Amino acid sequence: MQLQQLTLANEQRCFAGRQLRFQHRSTVLNCDMQFSVFLPPQAEHEAVPALYWLSGLTCTDENFSSKAGAQRVAAELGIALIIPDTSPRGDDVADDPDGAYDFGLGAGFYVNATQQPYAKHYQMYDYIVDELPQLVEAELPVSQTKSISGHSMGGHGALVIGLRNSERYRSISAFSPICQPTACPWGKKAFQGYLGDDQQLWRDYDASLLLAAAERVLPIRVDQGDADNFYPEQLRTDALQAANDKRQAGADIRLQAGYDHSYYFIASFIEAHLRFHAQYLLAK
């Protein structure tokens, strides 16, 4: 593998494919970053479509790859998994001043920060939408055909990015997403810190508001556990359902009995999500 901009940090054989971890310098985030990739065996012979997975609060790029059990089905289907980190990293990257888990490092919320000191590094929206796909498609056997998914804060990111960039993706899915961050404690804290007082900017990162007003909506699947300790206060799934009904968008929003917010929930339904995306990623 001849790499120009990526440094290979780890590689493991997995379901006849390869689980990889790369390091690179991000111009957008102004720091060194790392991300994980699963390349299915089909990538040995041709460029394959990709599912971008956005993780939740406190996670890195390794949580999904080690806990979700997605590689087996991704290998069968011939879909790459691209798993970025959840925030910029480094000694000079500003963190929450109180060291809280829901802001700063590990909690980038997939926005472009406008407030200092966060604006210098926290440009996660542009990183996910532009810089990372360009890098992946240039350096790895991955095509421009892609879908997006995520969990919790990452589910918020997947919905927002997919709704705002419907021409770039084939489909969207989410587990336990933060559906209305303009109205929940996590979202209010993050948006105030990253975006300041201009609540019009907040609206640009609210999936429920974006879905209600969307001109074009991709296929969407959302799964939410009814035993999730963050449901409904932080996640506000009902707001997304109301927007879906108003827009008649056809999103498949499912409340799953007895499931919580953990990776056990994700592992239980990841195959269904991968097969959902495969309908669109593999369509000619």
Confirm whether 1 is domain-assigned: no
Query: What is the chain's mean pLDDT, rounded?
Result: 97
Please tell me what DSSP assigns to residue 121. T
Written as six digits, the tokens of 137 are 């498609």
Position 4 scores a pLDDT of 83
The whole-model pTM stands at 0.98
Q: How many whole angstroms separate alpha carbon 218 and alpha carbon 280?
A: 10
φ and ψ of 133, to 5 deg = -60, -40
Which helix (H) or strand (E) element contains residue 33?
Answer: strand 31-39
> Is 24 annotated in the active site?
no
Contact 234, 268 (CB under 8 A): no
Position 226 scores a pLDDT of 98
- End-to-end Cα separation, the chain, in angstroms: 28
Instruction: Give the tens place of pLDDT for each residue, 157-184.
Output: 999 999 999 999 999 999 999 999 999 9
Contact 97, 72 (CB under 8 A): no
Q: Which entry of 26, 36, 87, 152 is annotated as an active-site residue?
A: 152
Q: Which amino acid is at 27?
A: T
Count of structural domains, the chain: 1
- The enclosing domain of 234 has a CATH number of 3.40.50.1820
Percent of the chain with pLDDT over 90: 98
Confirm whether 2 is domain-assigned: no
Confirm whether 58 is domain-assigned: yes
If pLDDT is split at 50, 70 and 90, which confidence band does 57 have?
Answer: very high
Position 1 scores a pLDDT of 65
Q: How many whole angstroms separate alpha carbon 267 and alpha carbon 177?
A: 16
> Is 45 annotated in the active site?
no
Q: Which entry of 156, 261, 273, 277 is annotated as an active-site residue?
A: 261
Range 126-150 average pLDDT = 98
If pLDDT is split at 50, 70 and 90, which confidence band does 88 have?
Answer: very high
Q: How many whole angstroms separate alpha carbon 270 and alpha carbon 275?
A: 9
> Is 228 annotated in the active site?
yes
Confirm whether 97 is domain-assigned: yes
Q: Which domain holds residue 180?
A: 7-282
* Residue 113: strand, helix, or coil: coil
Position 241 scores a pLDDT of 98
